[in-house]
Amino acid sequence: MTARDTSLSGLILRAVGWFGLGLLALAVFLSDFLAHEPAGATMTGAVLAPPSDLHPFGTDLLGRDVFSETLHGLATTGVNAALAALIAIVLGGLFGAVAARLPRPLAFLLRELWGVLASVPSLLVAILLLGLFGHGYTFLAAGLAAAPLGFVRAFDAVDLKSRHAEYARATGIPATTLLKRDLTYEFRYLLGAVTARALAAVTVVISTASFLGFGATPPARDLGLMIAASKISFFSAWWTAAFPALALVLLVLCARLAAGLDEGEQA
């Protein structure tokens, strides 16, 4: 396969990823309209009824419509993930791009400090922060936990020895002007991949934290908590966990496709 073919396939995968994210965002936006029942509505049908025409995804232990609950859970997970991704982009990707252009000693000191933080698993950092902030701040904890890795990626993506940078310094262009130019053009070019990668990372952290009992608490429910609540009935009623898990997989997969699957790429 040629480099051109690889690049074309990468563009196609990214397009598929963004298209999928768009469809999921539309489902989140229309969740109240598409859902058959309001969030948390119990005894809408027989307990643990299998998928049927009336309940396409079946019902759970409390007789809740799994199709409706999956849509509501996707909405909760998607909104929290979007807020967390925004935090990770600003404190991670954007700050990393700015820090790389600071005076060399300060820039590499920040790189080392954030590199140490990035070496700690994001989930553990998020759980620690949730202990400080409380359950209602899952998006904040996930965003802060994902920021160090985003910082390191953005910092390492900057070519500090590029011909453009050397020429700009030689001609006496102020550092602030060079920084504005780089952020306007270079970071904007990377923003799509940075956003999608951050969205995938924080979605995994938020859902896993909820699954372990550190995230959303009833009556609020996200996909992670829905999967956790289905553990006791999974082997007798597979649909109670399978459909929320499928929605979560689709969200993370689309985000990773939109970011680019090649871990060797920059951003």
The three-state secondary structure class of 59 is strand
Output the six-digit token pair for 209: 């934290």
In angstroms, rounded to a whole number, what is the distance separating the alpha carbons of residues 187 and 182?
Answer: 7
Question: Which of 18-22, 48-52, 132-136, 143-147 is the least confident region?
Answer: 132-136
Q: Would you list the DSSP string of 181-244?
A: HHIIIIIHHHHHHHHHHHHHHHHHHHHHHHHTTSS--TTS--HHHHHHHTGGGTTT-THHHHHH
pLDDT in tens, 52-90: 999 999 999 999 999 999 999 999 999 999 999 999 999
pLDDT in tens, 140-170: 999 999 999 999 988 887 765 555 555 555 6
| pLDDT score recorded for residue 215 | 87
Quote the mean pLDDT of the chain: 87
pLDDT bucket at 186, cuts 50 / 70 / 90: low
Ordered by where they begin, the domains of the chain are: 3-35+57-259 (1.10.3720)
* pLDDT at position 232 over 50: yes
- Please give the single-letter amino acid code of residue 26: L
In angstroms, rounded to a whole number, what is the distance separating the alpha carbons of residues 122 and 61?
Answer: 32
pLDDT bucket at 182, cuts 50 / 70 / 90: low
In angstroms, rounded to a whole number, what is the distance separating the alpha carbons of residues 107 and 157?
Answer: 14
Sorted by sequence, the CB contacts under 8 Å of residue 160 that are 6+ apart come out as 100, 101
* pLDDT at position 217 over 90: no
Higher-confidence position of 127 and 171: 127
> Directed axis angle between helix 138-157 and helix 122-133, to 10°?
140
Higher-confidence position of 124 and 220: 124
| pLDDT score recorded for residue 2 | 43
Query: What do you get for the CA distance between the two ends of the chain, in Å?
Result: 24
